[in-house]
Amino acid sequence: MSKKLYNILIISALLMLVTSCKTDPLEDYFVKATESADYFVVNIPASIVTFDEEKLDPETLKDVHSIKKMNVLVYKNNYEPKKKQLEFEKAHKIIHSKHYKTLTKINNKGYEVLFSYQGEPTGIDEIIFLGKDKNYNFVIGMLKGKDVNVNSIVKAAQHIKAVDQSQAESVIEILKPDRKSE
């Protein structure tokens, strides 16, 4: 085989590899949003919540401990309502894409939250949520785990022992709607 043909085959193989790699549209969205002045990012450690571990079975404990943190994007541009609505619609479209399956929707007192996931119900790798109010103020978040069973999340939520107040207060302060754009 000639060296030229060999180089063409190598380049073709690399191009096929690069173009066939699946990307996660939400991760792409997070990367672009972190570079935008319209968003701020909040990383919430899983340690913010503790559970009564004696009441959890080993499988549920394994699932809970596989979750390390939650990444949250908060849209903070309140000066351009049309842009805010368009940005929300972009995030909404991603969550309704073929990459994610709807877990549940909650509507309460003017707030809407959609929970979706990636993986299978017994092996979730990522839980995604998108919440908004009637003015399109919104947050989008990602909770990553490893093969988490959705039933484990429900069981664990019933046995929350405590929420670290110091960590919770700092997160709440960041998420306050009257917080000025930085």
- Measure the CA dihedral 143/149/155/157, to 10°: 10
Question: Whole-structure pTM over 0.85, yes or no?
Answer: no
Q: How far apart are CA 182 and CA 169, in angstroms?
A: 19
Q: Encode the chain (182 residues) as per-residue pLDDT tens digits.
A: 555 555 555 565 555 444 444 567 888 888 898 888 898 888 888 777 788 888 888 988 888 888 877 888 888 877 888 998 899 999 999 998 888 888 888 888 888 888 888 888 788 888 888 988 888 888 898 888 788 887 887 787 777 776 666 665 665 665 565 554 44
**Between 81-95 and 25-34, two packed helices, what is the crossing angle to 10 degrees?**
150
Q: What is the DSSP string of 86-138?
A: HHHHHHHHHHTSTT-EEEEEEEETTEEEEEEEEEETTEEEEEEEEEE-TT--E
pLDDT number for residue 118 = 84
12 CB neighbour count, 10 Å cutoff: 10
Q: In the chain, where are the structural domains located?
A: 22-175
